[in-house]
Amino acid sequence: MDIGNRRAFGARIWHLWPVAALGASVWILAKRLEGVELSHVLDAVLAVSPLGWVGAIAATWLSLAAVGQYDAILHRVLNTGISPRIARRTGLIAISIAQTAGFGTLVSALVRWRSLPNWSLWEAARFSLRVSFSFLLLWSLLAALAVAFWTAAPKTAVWAAAGGLIVFGIVAGAPPLRGLVFKLIPKRAFLPLFTAALVDTVFAAVALACLLPGASDVGLAIYPIYLLALGAALATGAPGGLGAFELVLLALLPPPDQAALIGAILAFRIIYYLCPAFLGLAGLMRSAVPLVHEPRPPRSRRMGTRRPRRLDPACRIHQVDVP
């Protein structure tokens, strides 16, 4: 097999991985939930208290407000010229749709290309790769730190967090990779992005805790549990991490009624995934940016060229009529 065929085969495997992961996760989850009736799951969704719904909605709003900061921070540090308001709006729409539709980097690149005037698809894809890569790197650090302070962490969670910390250390510490990392994540953006990722994931975990039955029994452990479930969802690349997210929560949360737990996760998906995705699609459709992007002006014009100096009026040469 020559190099071209190998690359084509690898690309096919890469694109088929989310589909295969989704099928495997859903199949394992279906086996795990044999005997659980759908009516009981729906009853569990309806049994969530009004205070739980309100708390979950408020926490989701705060989490998504931090999500929009990813784009705003990178646009500001990279001096792209995009205003913070447009950057936050574009990032929020892109991530809200991508986290529900799956194929995160590809979908978010298409949304950003649709939303940002005079951006090529290649520029939108590179920017989306920066956002995705920076979040994965920060997730590995947050997960490792959260599990380190989780006193009752099971061995599987400890090994998963240790693996994430090792990956973070190798990527951030090895000289060749470190250069690549800081090409994708500018040094000045690291601390603001870390803060945004922390706020985002903390309030997402709070939204989940508001909907869980017996959330008081979980306590602060909900944060590392949520991070590990989120990591499994990100690894599959499937729409919403369906299957993998539920399997990790079923394995790590205290064993309640499975129907009640699945009902709480379903309520979380409605609030944190489906509603933002629909609102993002509505915002995308209402955007005034045309679908066909015009090419940007030449680089010299974008970066700024020297304007011709204006001569002082006294130095101008006037035409004199010769008698």
**pLDDT for 103-117, tens place per residue?**
778 888 888 888 887
In the structure, what pLDDT confidence band is assigned to residue 255 with cuts at 50, 70 and 90? low
Among the listed residues 123, 113, 150, 136, the one whose alpha carbon sits nearest the alpha carbon of residue 224: 150
Residue 291 has pLDDT above 60, yes or no: no
The pTM score is 0.77
Q: How confident is the model at residue 182 (pLDDT cuts 50, 70, 90)?
A: low
pLDDT at 85 over 80: yes
Can you give the pLDDT at residue 65?
92
Residue 30 pLDDT grade (very low, low, confident, very high; cuts 50, 70, 90): low
- Residue 266: count of CB within 10 angstroms of its CB: 18
Choose the most confident range, by mean pLDDT, from 121-135, 163-177, 192-206. 192-206
In the structure, what pLDDT confidence band is assigned to residue 320 with cuts at 50, 70 and 90?
very low
- % of residues, the chain, pLDDT over 70: 66
Any long-range contacts for 146-152 (C-beta under 8 Å, 24+ apart)?
146/223, 146/224, 146/227, 147/224, 147/227, 147/228, 149/224, 150/221, 150/224, 152/221
Average pLDDT over the chain, rounded to an integer? 76
Comparing 40-44, 71-75, 169-173, the range with the smallest average pLDDT is 169-173
Work out the pLDDT band at 237, boundaries 50, 70, 90: confident
